[in-house]
Amino acid sequence: MRQINTIRYWLLIGLVFAAPVSFWPSISLPVLNFPSFRIGLYQVIAALFVISCTSLLAKRPSTPSHKQWLPRLFMILLIPTIVIGLVTTNSLSRTMLYCGSLIALIILGVCGYAVWHHLTKSQKDTLFRTLLWSGLVFGSLALVQLIIASFDPTALGTLCSGCSDQVFGFPRINLFSAEPQFFANSLLPSLFAALFWKHKSRLATLSLTITSLAIGLTFSRGAFMAIIVSLVLCTILYGFKHQPVRHLFVRSALVGAGIVAAFGLLIISASVRYRDTPYIAYNTTVSMIDHLTLGHLRIAQKTVSAHVESATRNTKSFVPEGFVQASSNDRINAAELALDAWNDSPRTILFGVGMGNLGTYVQHHSTPQAPSNLTVYIWYILVLAELGITGLIGLILPVAYTLRRIITRPLTPRLTFVFGTTTALMTQLWSFGSYINVMYCYVWIGIFVAIVGPSRCFTPNTAPV
């Protein structure tokens, strides 16, 4: 029994540390137009972790039955929604695959929830210290990828297809994740662990700096917005709890400095890649401002005269694009199609069109030219369209429970970390629609519910902490 407990603990450490390794290394298995379906290192660790928790989940919970309303309500909301989706779908095999994936992710979160109560105080402290090392290690590797990409346009084949320097002049760093926004999202727990570390620590300060730098290198607006929203909400929480905010402001300033420094490195990268282009540093800066403000703040880029252009026509030239309106329109159009499908009937409003069935449903009911694997870039709208109001409420119920419990309890550094990370992750979900690419989120949600919930939900086999 002690051996399985040790194995389970180290697998959890692996899931926490290796969150940025959610895409590479892996083998693509894009069955049934499900391009995110991959089998890789992180998925194998997650599967082994779930297997190691089998005996633990089989134990009878020690929480009184009248306090088990959360899992009961969760199942009451999700089970009928999934069943109705399977019955009414136009693409049964694809819906079954998606539903199976979601159930697997929920089980992963339940395992995180259960294991937390079996950890000793020392193991819990090590778990959060692992986050500091994760941010430091993968943040440093992100800087290495930027240096390589400044001279090699593919960064030795590690950049994603949309991460090259063809839009902004500099690469957007994705490291081992599918896209820059997924990489930035995976670093948010490390960022907030370092931000709210319980005592002064050089490791925490260094991790906070490097992690902030790495998030800045992704140039992900969603991540920047998530950090800003979360820090604002943390400040409000501090005020509500009458806690001093000086430490929060100082550490937040360090986060801002790291992101601004990353912007400087991106400008340098563009200047190296297109060193023969006149005004490349200035135009890259203007392009970044245009992109970050969604095109609302436009500053004219500098151009060269016809005479100078003729003299330099044989040199490599580049004009940064800034805010890409076409990309924004694609996101808006996909969201509108999804909302139209959701609003099609009382059934779809309550239970959605079925997981994985959105593209096919849109083809049959409104837009024949829509792709069968229609991609929605806002997670909340994706869930609303596929699982309806009941499914969306079910999936955000544990998050709402976590935040409510924190608000009603005295603040501690650990609870502040939970609050900051939760609000940041939920804000980031406005920027992309994906279930499988953010597996680590489900682990953390389970752990967070365990942290704020009753102290005895599964009979622990270790000493109380």
Q: What confidence tier does 465 reach under pLDDT thresholds 50, 70, 90?
A: very low
With a CB cutoff of 8 Å and minimum separation 6, the contacts of 15 are 42, 45, 46, 49, 112, 440, 443
Report yes or no: 323 and 273 within 8 Å, Cβ to Cβ.
no
Residue 148 has pLDDT above 50, yes or no: yes
Mean pLDDT of 120-147: 96
Q: What confidence tier does 452 reach under pLDDT thresholds 50, 70, 90?
A: very high
Mean pLDDT over each residue of the chain, to the nearest integer: 88
In this prediction, residue 105 carries a pLDDT of 94
Mean pLDDT of 60-74: 72
Nearest Cα to Cα of residue 220 among 172, 289, 260: 172
Report yes or no: 18 and 42 within 8 Å, Cβ to Cβ.
yes
Q: What confidence tier does 341 reach under pLDDT thresholds 50, 70, 90?
A: very high
Q: What confidence tier does 307 reach under pLDDT thresholds 50, 70, 90?
A: very low
In this prediction, residue 245 carries a pLDDT of 92
DSSP SS3 for 220: coil
DSSP SS3 for 39: strand
In this prediction, residue 319 carries a pLDDT of 86
Angle at 23 between CA 383 and CA 112, to 5 degrees: 65
Both tokens of 459, joined, read: 């009979």
Rounded CA-CA distance 327/437 in Å is 21
